[in-house]
Structures are given as structure tokens and as C-alpha cells.
Amino acid sequence: MSAPSAALSADRPALGIALISLGVAAISVNDMLVKVLSSGYPLHQIVFIRSAIGLVLTLGIVQAEGGLHLLRTATPGLHALRGLLVAGANMTFFAAVAVLPLGLATALFFVAPLFITLLSIPLLGERVGVPRMIAILVGLAGVVVMQRPLADLPEGLGRATLLLPVVAALLYALMQVMTRKLGVAARASALAVYIHLTFLVVSALMFVVAGDGRFAAGSTDESVQFLLRAWIVPPREDWAALGLIGLMSGFVGYCLSASYRLADASVIAPFEYLGLPLAIFWGWAIFGEWPDIATWAGCALIVGAGLVVFLRERGARRPGRRAWPFRR
């Protein structure tokens, strides 16, 4: 595909918005199910099962889109790095979900769009003016508010745990910037296949190293237990949830990769905030959780800052100028 035709095919914001909305809804269901299973399974076992199912689905999509030759790439190292980033983001986020209320973990993670804007300066050569930088600082202040620096944390909850979703957001932002850089040379289905393969490799290695649970022995930290406890044979009643997680994983991988290829990040990223009310709903409906004042205040700062950034980006664009330019 030539550069002009590639750019033309990628300028489809309505489809990108539809895909990101569906993907975010699937993510919220996936997060809820992982939290439900977090008390009995190690994270790397859940990841292995869901990625195996997701890989089968995405390989089917690749075949339907033209065949397995679409998986060929001239930049395997970059794709491997991208996969490791999203694997790291998932591991750190779900380690937090096992302990934190789902709404709080998700709210902290939503600093990711602000990180995307910051990272676009050195990695994509974009210019970010003073108003957007102020908005980003306000959003980061929201993270500080939710960290509760002057308050005593509930028993069993450490400061490091509250930082896990922020680390996940940074890794996720790096991954999305790389998606934009790689998207012109790889289909969304191929990008999703690379990610699932990376998940399988990482989780298999974790099984080899820690699958017997020896590193979790004696630890009372719920996040450590979720990361490192021994693999188990899933009982029959859990297979429906595990299968649904796998189906959602295949669907999400394609939707996220495709949406950021089809439109500017300034158009797509605001719709990721749909995940916040969905996370609060699942936290309330399934786990009996409800955000406290600090969480609501931090949410307001982060979401408000993010929307300001996106509106400024869209307003600053001239016809024919992409906020996230294609580069080979």
C-alpha cells in the first residue's frame, strides 16, 4: 500500500469511535471478571488462557482479511517491544485490581491519555502548547489527590499499590504511541496477534519460573499472591468466565489497535473515558464498592484535564493536518 492510500484509509473517525467504544465496554467486562477470579488464580494463568483463546480468534480475523502473510513484518523488534509494553501494563494494572476498588484503579489508569500527549512530544515530534501543559499538570494533580498523601491508608494497602495503575497507564501510553507509528505497516489484526503471542510467551515463562507458587509462599500481600500463586486446574464452573475473558481479549485487541489506526488520537482517546462509569458500575453492582470523595475529586481533575487537552488538540488542527502523523 502506498503512503497516500494508507493515509486515506486511516482517516475514518466514525468507525474508529465505534471500535474504541465497543473495545472499552469489553475491557470493563474483562476487568470485572479478572477481579472476580483474582482470589483463586494466578494472574499469569488467567492471561495464558485468555491469550490462547484470543489468539485463535485474531488468527481467524487475519485469515479473513487476506491470509497469514499479513503477519510478516520488517520491524519484528518494535512489535516485540510493543507487546512487552502492553503485557507490562496488564500485569501492573491487574495486580492493583486484585486489591483496589475497581473504580479507583480505573480512575488512576485514566491518566494514560495525558501520558499519550506528553509522549507525543519526544516520540512523534508534536508540539504541545502552554494550555495543554497546564491541563496535563492538573490531571497529574488528580493522581496525587487519589494517592491520599496526607491520609492514612486502609490496613493492607500500601502506597506502591496505588501507584500500580499509574505505571500501567504509562506503559499503555507508550504502547499506543507505538501503535500509531507501526499502524501504517501492519493491520490491526496482525498487531493483535503479536500482542497475544507476547502474552503467551510472558505467561508461559512466568509459569516456568513461578508456576508452583514458591515465590508467593508466606506472603500476605494480595497483589503478590495474585501475581505469583501456583497454577490450579480450573473447576467446571469457572470455565464460562475464563472463556468469556478470552473472547473479550480477542475482541479488545483488535478494536484498540484498529481504532488508533483509523483516526487521530485526539478524536479516539476521549472515548476511552467510557470505561470509568462502567468500572464504577461493576464495582458497585458486583463488589459493593463506591468511590469516596478523594476518588471523585481525582476523577474530576483527570477527566477534565483530559477533555481540555483533547479539545485543544482538535481545535489546533488545520484541515489536512493529523495530530498523530503517519511515519514508517
Q: Is residue 144 part of a domain?
A: yes
> What is the residue-wise DSSP string for 46-61?
HHHHHHHHHHHHHHHH
Determine the pLDDT at residue 318. 43
pLDDT per residue of the chain (328 residues) written in tens, 0 to 9: 333 334 434 578 888 889 999 999 999 999 999 999 998 999 999 999 999 999 999 999 899 888 888 888 888 888 888 889 989 999 999 999 998 999 999 999 989 888 988 888 888 777 778 888 899 999 999 999 988 776 766 666 677 888 999 999 999 898 878 777 665 567 778 888 888 999 999 999 999 999 999 998 888 888 889 999 999 999 999 999 999 999 988 888 778 778 877 877 667 777 888 999 999 999 999 999 999 898 999 999 999 998 888 777 666 554 433 333 322 2
Q: Is residue 326 part of a domain?
A: no
What length is written for the chain? 328
Q: Is residue 19 part of a domain?
A: yes
From CA 85, how far away is CA 173, in angstroms rounded? 9
> What is the residue-wise DSSP string for 17-86?
HHHHHHHHHHHHHHHHHHHHHTTTS-HHHHHHHHHHHHHHHHHHHHHHHT-GGGG--S-HHHHHHHHHHH
Which backbone phi and psi does 39 adopt, to 5 degrees? -85, -10
Nearest Cα residue to 33 out of 108, 94, 118: 94
From CA 10, how far away is CA 282, in angstroms rounded? 34
- Contact between residue 239 and residue 37 where contact means Cβ atoms under 8 Å apart: no
Determine the pLDDT at residue 289. 92
> Which residues does 162 contact at the CB level (< 8 Å), separation at least 6?
96, 100, 108, 146, 147, 148, 153
Determine the pLDDT at residue 313. 66
- Contact between residue 113 and residue 264 where contact means Cβ atoms under 8 Å apart: no
pTM of the predicted model as reported, rounded to 2 decimal places: 0.83
Nearest Cα residue to 46 out of 93, 103, 82: 93
Determine the pLDDT at residue 244. 94
Q: Is residue 43 part of a domain?
A: yes
Q: Is residue 328 part of a domain?
A: no
From CA 284, how far away is CA 97, in angstroms rounded? 14
Q: Residue 75 sits in which domain range? A: 11-316
Look at the chain and report how many structural domains it folds into.
Answer: 1
> What is the residue-wise DSSP string for 196-236?
HHHHHHHHHHHHHHHTT-TTTTT---HHHHHHHSPP-PPPG
* CA count, 13 A, side-chain hemisphere, 322: 22
269: which 3 cell numbers?
A: 482517546
Which backbone phi and psi does 7 adopt, to 5 degrees? -65, -40
3-state secondary structure of 120: helix
- Contact between residue 272 and residue 113 where contact means Cβ atoms under 8 Å apart: yes
Q: Is residue 2 part of a domain?
A: no
Sign of torsion, CA 306 35 47 226? positive
3-state secondary structure of 169: helix
Q: Is residue 4 part of a domain?
A: no
180: which 3 cell numbers?
A: 500509531
Q: Is residue 215 part of a domain?
A: yes
